[in-house]
Amino acid sequence: MADRKPLRVGLLGYGAAGRVFHAPLIAATPGLRLHAVVTRDPQRREQVRHDHPNARLVDDPDLLWRQADALDLVVVATPNRLHVPMARAAVAAGLPVVVDKPLAATAAEARELLAEARRRGVPLTVFQNRRWDGDFLTARRLVTGGALGAVIRFESRFERWRPAIKPGWRESGTADEAGGVLYDLGAHLIDQAVQLFGPVRSVYAEVDRRRPGAQVDDDAFVALTHTGGVRSHLWMGALAAQLGPRLRILGDRAAYTTWGLDVQEAALRDGGRPGTAGWGAVPPERYGRLGVDGALRPVPTEPGRYQSFYAEVAASLRDGTPMPVDPRDAVDTVELIELAHRSATDGAVLSVPS
């Protein structure tokens, strides 16, 4: 790839997703170049100038579609309500597209988008970066390697202590914003559960607004029953004054438990970049524990590697290898989120349509 020109990337949005995740990961990926960033916000434009001085600043995405031959890839890191219209515009312009999770607010919209991309022959993938969390990579290795025996239950948590409601679209009550913890954090937890244990046959959920003045769900529990028999119990919320285990996997031979979030997000927020010494590494005192009570041993956590996502995107566009995330997986995730909301409303266990 060194003798080939880098693929030119247009990034839509420079909020938390664009600034913390996409822009630095694109910039750190050999074979990719951050060519343009679309944002109208004056402060964010100044931040782009500071962070990526060689990137072109654009205030209207229509300019990208009119000059599609100047780009090789578009990344949609806008608020959720714009994911589908911006991705559809990229597809119409013939530009391969990465869409941040969740792919859409509804499974119907997501399916229509995928059908349009297939019809036009335009590659599309979804940024499910938590597939490259170190603890998840380690858990997958232990599960597939049989270290736990037959898995009975998978427990997974993304919990926070945020008693004050933050301004912005993520906590807006309008349906088209697809805000709330189930869309925000649940999109990760559900995807990880399905990646580990396969398709789901039923969903039960409890979804609440706990903080005074909350317009969207800020506390949720989702129980998935996989077709293979494993049960996944997933928690997400903003009012966890004491955090539970990040992962706990119970098998008939042993269990595996980890605490604390993957280190990569904090490193990116602090200006760290993949490729530096120790990237994604977890210190020994934070290793997960494997075994049974009284006979536990630490298991080194595999280094997290968010950079693998864009490396695989570049390889796919160059050489025709598969995209890192099959967009059909993202459609399934949105469908499960919708079922979880319905389950919470109805107070019932719902079957997943076959």
**pLDDT tens profile 42-81:** 999 999 999 999 999 999 999 999 999 999 999 999 999 9
- Chain position carrying tokens 């590494």: 281
- Nearest CA to 222 among 196, 186, 266? 186
Q: Is the peptide bond before 85 cis (omega within 30 degrees of 0)?
A: no
Return the CATH fold of 7-127.
Rossmann fold (3.40.50)
How far apart CA 154 and CA 212 sit, in angstroms, is 31
Average pLDDT of 174-182? 87
Average pLDDT of 105-127? 97
Matching CATH number, 130-307+335-351, of 3.30.360.10, 3.50.30.20, 3.60.15.10, 3.40.190.10: 3.30.360.10
Per-residue model confidence as pLDDT tens digits over 130-148: 999 999 999 999 999 999 9
Least confident of 145-159, 160-174, 330-344: 160-174
What percent of the chain stands above pLDDT 70? 99
Could you state, in order of their start, the residue ranges of all structural domains in the chain?
7-127, 130-307+335-351
Going by their DSSP bridges, the two strands 97-100 and 73-76 should be labelled as parallel
Strand, coil or helix: 75: strand
Label residue 32 exposed, middle or buried (CB < 10 Å: 0-12, 13-18, 19+). buried
Buried b (16+ CB within 10 A) or exposed e, 145-162: eebbeebeebbbbbbeee
How far apart CA 133 and CA 307 sit, in angstroms, is 11
Give the type of residue at 256: Y
Token pair of 341 as six digits: 């909301």
pLDDT of the residue at 3: 52
- Nearest CA to 62 among 38, 42, 94? 38
pTM score of the predicted model: 0.95
pLDDT beyond 80 at 174: no
